[in-house]
Amino acid sequence: MSLRGKIKFAEITDTGMVREHNEDAIGSDEDMGLMVLADGMGGYNAGEVASEIAVQTITELAAEGASREDRNDRDPTTGLMRQTIVLRDAISRANKIIFQTAQSQTHCEGMGTTLVAAMFYDNTVSIAHVGDSRAYRLRNDQFEQLTLDHSLLQELVDRGFYSEEEAQRSTNRNYVTRALGVEPMVEVEVQEFDVLPDDIYLLCSDGLPDMVEDEDIHLTIRTFNASLDVVGQQLVKLANDHGGRDNVSVMLTQVLESFAAKKSLLAKLASLFRS
């Protein structure tokens, strides 16, 4: 089932005002309902290598897995949708490739990338992330951060050493505790959310929230939501107007209508026995 016409995408990535080159990478597949955003890190151009490997690998493996699996079937052990497991496993595979490349290529030593990805199907979105790239949702004028950063600062907030307000003002926001390619294995955090028409989802690298307060991100989406492309452009402009100290990438999805998947006869019978 293609999601084209049921959801719409917009995406933009920018070098910012300080960095010499862009180590972010983005990729999407509107038919499959997939968005992937990676924020690379490492010396020379290695960050670019890590983020590109992540986006390309995850996009390819997610497409293969989605065509092979019944995406809205649920795993009996975890209770997760198959598509969520496909997305998680694709990210884990990307981690291994990045790690192996960093070990075998001298110029790639120490590279890694944070990542956030979203995959839509059957009125549900699967969100996976590693590090401090984020996912947000705007629903009925309520703007909510759906992911929690894998960062030292977030751990300090969780333990009560900082309030959320103090964390917003902290200058030590970029010490991530989890990233792709740093270790042979990585823990990928996955979540599932019900999707409603008119929802707007935002994926972004830390170059946006480090420069722009959540309230201003919310206001920008609400003001310009007639065009997702304009929203993306305005968010990047805001980040750059506030200093643009990092690359900034923005991916947006607006839900136009319900996209419930047609269930097979077997699935319908199974649901009857469960009820």
pLDDT in tens, the chain (275 residues): 789 999 999 999 999 999 999 999 999 999 999 999 999 998 656 999 999 999 999 999 999 998 887 888 999 999 999 999 999 999 999 999 999 999 999 889 999 999 999 999 999 999 999 999 999 999 999 999 999 999 877 776 667 766 666 656 655 566 889 999 999 999 999 999 999 999 999 999 999 999 999 999 999 999 999 999 999 999 999 999 999 999 999 999 999 999 998 765 445 555 555 55
Q: Where are the domains of the chain?
A: 7-274
Class of domain 7-274: alpha beta
b/e map of 18-37 (b: 16 or more CB within 10 Å)? Answer: ebeebbbbbbbbbebbbbbb
> CA 209 → CA 95, 113, 193, distances in Å?
25, 17, 22
pLDDT of residue 264: 54
Fill in the amino acid letter for 88.
Answer: R
Predicted model pTM: 0.90
Is 112:181 a contact under the CB 8 Å cutoff?
A: yes
pLDDT of residue 167: 58
CA gap 125, 253 in Å, rounded: 11
